[in-house]
């Protein structure tokens, strides 16, 4: 049995190596465009119904955590479907590799939010900026096996994150321009990059 288990592990290692050498086309433009539109709609709703969001940090965080959860689900469902279609022999290995590349940055974003909320609520205004910076780091980490245009998306989120850190405080904290606009535009940019770099049969 040990020999068979070793053989299976070696086959798995070869497949993982092959998966890491391919460009990942599992991310689909439709899901990213949908999340971009969702973010912009939430930003419009926030501007309409929460004109002074400063004192409503908890509501702001709840709404955006919900948007992030919905977006992750939509992107994840499309990623599994596309990967099975476009990378059929290596789909599972490629999905695992993609998630592994992005996960540390995503986990850092979650932990930062939890720590700010629990121990430094006066600094919560920085959460949207830090989310965008974490997101950009996740994209840069995954860039090696994503279409090259994704570097532009990473640069976008880094720039908006740093910009928000510098400008979106005080009266501008939690404003739609600090979260909804950069996130919505960024997701639409991802959709455009993926659309123009997708294989023809995608």
Partner 1 sequence: MPEPAPFAYEGLDRVFHERARLGVLTSLAANPKGLAFSDLRRLCGLTDGNLARHLQTLQDAGLVEVTKNFERNRPLTLCRITPEGRARFLEYLDVLDRVVREAAAAAKSETTEGPLSGLAPA
- The tokens describing 47, both together, are 């501007």
Among 11, 69, 96, 110, binds partner 1 (CB under 8 A): 11
Among 18-26, 27-35, 155-163, 175-183, which window interacts with partner 1 (CB under 8 A)? Answer: 18-26
Burial class of 113 by CB neighbour count within 10 A (0 to 12, 13 to 18, 19+): buried
What is the chain's length? 202
4 near partner 1, rule: CB under 8 A: yes
Distance of alpha carbon 7 from alpha carbon 18, whole angstroms:
17
Alpha-carbon dihedral of residues 130, 110, 180, 197, nearest 10 degrees? 90
Q: Is 21 in the site for partner 1 (CB under 8 A)?
A: yes
Query: Distance between the two ends of the chain, CA-based, in angstroms?
Result: 41
Shortest spacing between CB 11 and partner 1, in angstroms = 5
Residue 17 as a binder of partner 1 (CB under 8 A): the answer is yes
Q: Determine the angle formed by the axes of helices 127-142 and 57-86, rounding to 10 degrees.
A: 10
In the region spanning residues 49 to 68, those forming contacts with partner 1, defined by CB under 8 A, are none
**Is 118 within 8 Å of 96 (Cβ atoms)?**
no
Per-residue x/- track, 85-114, partner 1 (CB under 8 A): ----xx------------------------
Minimum CB separation of residue 8 from partner 1 in Å reads 5
CB 147 to partner 1: min, Å: 15
Q: Which residues of the chain form contacts with partner 1 (CB under 8 A)? A: 1, 4-5, 7-8, 11, 14-15, 17-18, 20-22, 89-90
């Amino acid at each position: 049995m040990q020999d068979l288990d070793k053989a299976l592990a070696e086959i798995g290692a070869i497949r993982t190596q092959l998966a890491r050498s391919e460009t990942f086309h599992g991310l689909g433009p439709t899901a990213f465009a949908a999340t971009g539109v969702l973010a912009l709609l939430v930003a419009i709703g926030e501007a309409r119904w929460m004109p002074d969001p400063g004192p409503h940090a908890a509501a702001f965080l709840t709404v955006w955590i919900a948007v992030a959860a919905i977006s992750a689900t939509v992107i994840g469902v499309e990623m599994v479907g596309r990967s099975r279609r476009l990378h059929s022999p290596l789909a599972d290995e490629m999905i695992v590799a993609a998630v592994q590349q992005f996960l540390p940055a995503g986990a850092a974003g979650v932990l930062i939010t939890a720590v700010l909320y629990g121990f430094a609520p006066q600094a919560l205004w920085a959460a949207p900026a830090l989310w965008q910076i974490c997101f950009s780091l996740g994209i840069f980490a995954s860039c090696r096996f994503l279409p090259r245009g994704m570097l532009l998306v990473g640069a976008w989120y880094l720039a908006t994150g740093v910009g928000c850190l510098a400008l979106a405080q005080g009266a501008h904290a939690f404003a739609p321009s600090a979260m909804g606009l950069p996130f919505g535009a960024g997701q639409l940019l991802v959709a455009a990059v993926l659309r123009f770099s997708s294989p023809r049969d995608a």
